[in-house]
Amino acid sequence: MIVVIKKDQEKKQVQNLISWVEKLGLKVHLSEGENTTIIGLVGDTSKVDIDLIRTLDIVESVTRVQEPYKNANRKFHPADSIIDVNSCKFGGNHFQIIAGPCSIESEKQVIEVAMACKKAGATLLRGGAFKPRTSPYSFQGMGVDGLKLLKKAKAETGLPIVTEIMSEEHIDDFEGVDVMQVGARNMQNFDLLKRLGKLKTPILLKRGIAATIEEWLMSAEYIMSEGNPNVILCERGIRTYETYTRNTLDLSAIPVLKERTHLPVIVDPSHALGISRFVKPMSLASVGAGADGLMIEVHNDPAHALCDGAQSLRPEQFEDVVTSLRAMLPAVGKELN
């Protein structure tokens, strides 16, 4: 339910209303914009007498929200959410480029790639330590040792780091990680989502392999309803009948999400297409569609990468993508960092 407050009302009266609905056992999502104050009510709103609220002097209007996602709903929070990761802002007119290897393989590899990504213009560094592989016989990632190397690369470059968490049992090892990624395969690992909701660390929530946009937003809702508002959505391709690409990049999800949610949306063209030469055109297309950032896999020796070499750009190819992005961003009113 959404309660729109009339302009220039006394804060105390707004607070009285909030306390009253909280006593009914509802959670309140307050959005104070320049012109409008909106109180979003989350929970079992059947207990609320909608007509009674309508008659209050300070209330402009009351409407029931049909969508099952509330905290993530743009109706609750009309302005874009801006999520600050060590001064790298996601959302609004900001644009971020997360780059780095699929997996952390050695100290030399991750530091070399991190330096090259920074030089080329990346604003955050990625690297997987815990890898969700289809086969149990494939490289599973370096685990905790990999996390240590990624933190070393952060110290060397100053770039904030993004890495995937697969299980809540590792949360303590993620101290010092700036963005925790929930991968496509874990988008509906509800216990993990609820646990991450207890943190304040920004969560990069990838779209599930066969998830609808609404299912994806409901997963964001799991994190947000536990108290963590810092969710960044990442479109990474969905499974379709197409076989010429690894997945099908659903660029239409971007404008649809922008209408329905205030959360930032980024695109991972590397996992979406699975082929390095298609990363540049789809990166530019993502900007055109309104993305707030990109996540791109970069490796110094893709031919020998332990994971996802075919979709990884060499540093000079990545630099070429960034050059084109820089030229394009002003046209859509966005700024790199």
Report d(CA 145, CA 119) in Å as an integer: 25
| Least spacing, CB of residue 304 vs ligand PEP, in Å | 18
The count of residues interacting with ligand PEP (CB under 6 A) is 11
Residue among 50, 104, 39 nearest 76 (CA): 39
**Residue 100 touching ligand PEP (CB under 6 A):** no
Q: Does 246 bind ligand PEP (CB under 6 A)?
A: no
Instruction: Kindly state the smallest distance separating residue 180's Cβ from ligand PEP, in Å.
Output: 12
For residues 27 and 185, which CB has a smaller minimum distance to ligand PEP in the complex? 185
Q: What 3-state DSSP class applies to 61?
A: strand
Q: Does 263 bind Mn ion (CB under 5 A)?
A: no
Q: Is 249 in the site for ligand PEP (CB under 6 A)?
A: no
Stretch that binds ligand PEP, among 55-63, 137-145, 181-189, 281-289 (CB under 6 A): 181-189
Binding partner of residue 236 among Mn ion, ligand PEP, none, CB under 5 to 8 Å per kind? Answer: ligand PEP
Tell me which of ligand PEP, Mn ion, none is bound by residue 105, counting a contact when its beta carbon lies within the kind-specific cut-off of 5 to 8 angstroms.
none
How far apart are the C-alpha atoms of 69 and 258, rounded to whole Å? 14
Contacts with Mn ion by CB under 5 A: the residue count is: 2
DSSP state letters, 124-139: EEE-BSS---SSTTS-
Quote the CA–CA distance of 258 and 291 in Å, as a whole number: 9
**Binder of ligand PEP out of 154, 246, 271, 299 (CB under 6 A):** 271
Of the candidate residues 80, 164, 235, 308, the single one contacting Mn ion (CB under 5 A): 308
DSSP string of 216-251?
HHHHHHHHHHTT---EEEEE--B--S--SSSSB--T
* In 58-106, alpha helices (H): none
